[in-house]
Amino acid sequence: MISFSVNKRPVKVDVDPSTPLLWVLRENLELTGTKYGCGMAQCGACTVHINGQAVRSCVAPVSRAAGKEITTIEGLSPDLSHPLQRAWLEIDVPQCGYCQSGQIMSAAVLLNEIPNPTDDDIDQALTGNICRCGTYPRIRRAVHRAAEMMAKGGAR
Amino acid sequence: MIRYRDVLRSIFSILLCVVSCLVSANGQRNAASAAAFEAMLPVLHHPRCMNCHSAGDFPRQGDDSHPHAMNVRRGPEGRGVTSQKCSTCHQDHNLAGLHMPPGAPDWQMPPRNTPMIWAGLTDNQLCELLKEPKQNGHRNIDQIVEHMTTPKLVLWGWNPGEGRTPVPMSQADFAAKVKEWAVGGAVCPAASSSASHAATQ
């Protein structure tokens, strides 16, 4: 039995410790907002936070989560009120949407560490999150917009 | 008086012989230490080491030492930046399968203020850099030996996972050469005889 917290909720799962965290989130805990993309940490669709740090959950064994705080896209805010979610909606960033939860989770780590990022900071932080639809210009704009919201007290 | 002079001459000869022997022994010891360092070089120059001790503010990957995919950067602590830290993808162990992220505990490269860039250095310069406390993380010779023979991150070079060539010497032989180099005084190869290692510049 492996214990950890997901979106501030304590959970225990009875799975093989080598099971990818992604499958535990999606199959055992039914948190399907986090997506499976490549399965080898090369696309970023499966990005979640472990103790506030971005992690590709498709390659992280669930044993790595033991005793830690996991945040998924569902836990970023309870009501889509996180500045990144609001900015994403305002700018209408997604096209197909498949990569977007990973994009937002990576962007959240960026804004935690660099509240007012430059274009270079954004490109650097998100270059490992691939978007087949090519929504990168809107992603960049939305991250800037979220940073503005946070600067004006919009962080929740 | 003559006898006294002979005695002095004999003592002087003996002293000269002792000093000469000591100098000779020391010279042999120095040569052995420097030779041990040169024996270590195929490992130090190997992509498994050089990919994190390469030129630039980023790690490299693969046997061809190409820049790390995803524009990964060194970061202030040698652990990446923001949402692209080493631990974002690398675990504390290799993952099975070709092109899967390799891993070892404490996966990182040298920090920004002491990047320990080996590319482009002569053998002499590399040796001197390794011993420079201001550049090597304030390690003394014993701690350098420990760094080269003990941490799982360094030992990963012998077990780099599928699709990556391990360093070209057994771990035991390399450790023996490192210790031989250190015990002999951590002597560096002569500057004039050193060739520059140009790979991954």
pLDDT tens column, B157-175: 999 999 999 999 999 999 9
Does B45 score more than 80 pLDDT? yes
Partnered with residue A3 across adjacent β-strands are: A12
Contact of A59 with chain B, judged by CB distance below 8 Å, is answered with yes
- pLDDT value at position B23? 59
Tell me the C-alpha distance between B49 and B124, whole Å: 18
Contact of B99 with chain A, judged by CB distance below 8 Å, is answered with yes
- pLDDT value at position B11? 75
> By the 8 A CB rule, do B84 and A124 touch?
yes
Beta-carbon separation of A110 and B82 below 8 A: yes
Residue A147 one-letter amino acid: A
Beta-carbon separation of A125 and B83 below 8 A: yes
Contact of B96 with chain A, judged by CB distance below 8 Å, is answered with no
- pLDDT value at position B52? 96
Residues in chain B closer than 8 A to A40 (CB atoms): 95, 97, 99-101
Interface test with A, best of B82, B95, B162 (most A CBs within 10 A): B82
Contact of A64 with chain B, judged by CB distance below 8 Å, is answered with yes
- pLDDT value at position B200? 47
Q: What is the mean pLDDT of residues A68-87?
A: 96
pLDDT tens column, B67-118: 999 999 999 999 999 999 999 999 999 999 999 999 999 999 999 999 999 9
- pLDDT value at position B107? 98
| CATH 1.10.150.120 domain residues, chain A | 83-151
Residue B20's pLDDT band (boundaries 50, 70, 90)? Answer: low
Tell me the C-alpha distance between B71 and B151, whole Å: 27
Beta-carbon separation of A125 and B85 below 8 A: no
Question: Per mean pLDDT, which range of A98-102, A115-119, B17-21 is the poorest?
Answer: B17-21
Contact of B57 with chain A, judged by CB distance below 8 Å, is answered with no
Q: What is the mean pLDDT of residues B126-130?
A: 97
Question: Per mean pLDDT, which range of A25-39, A43-57, B27-41 is the poorest?
Answer: B27-41
- pLDDT value at position B7? 73
Q: Output the DSSP codes for A72-130.
A: -GGGS-SSS-SHHHHHHHHHT--SS-TTHHHHHHHHHHHHHH-SS--HHHHHHHHTTS-
- pLDDT value at position B22? 58
**Domain edges within chain B:** 40-193
Beta-carbon separation of B83 and A121 below 8 A: no
Nearest to B136 by CA among B111, B106, B109, B114: B114
Kindly tell me the burial class for residue B179, based on how many C-beta atoms sit within 10 Å of its own C-beta (0-12, 13-18, 19 or more): middle
- pLDDT value at position B193? 57
- The count of C-alpha atoms lying within 13 angstroms of the C-alpha of A50, restricted to the half-sphere facing its C-beta, is 23
ipTM of the complex: 0.95
Residue B138 C-alpha, separation from nearest chain A C-alpha, in angstroms: 29
- pLDDT value at position B201? 43
Residues in chain B closer than 8 A to A42 (CB atoms): 69-70, 99
Please report the number of interchain residue pairs, chain A to chain B, with beta-carbon separation below 8 angstroms. Answer: 67
Multiple choice CATH, A83-151, 3.50.50.60, 3.40.630.10, 1.10.150.120, 3.90.400.10: 1.10.150.120
Task: Say whether domain A2-75 belongs to CATH 1.10.4160.10.
Answer: no
Q: DSSP secondary-structure letter at A123?
A: H
Q: What is the mean pLDDT of residues A97-108?
A: 98
Contact of A130 with chain B, judged by CB distance below 8 Å, is answered with no
Nearest to A113 by CA among A52, A34, A45: A52
Strand duo A53-56 + A69-71: pairing: unpaired
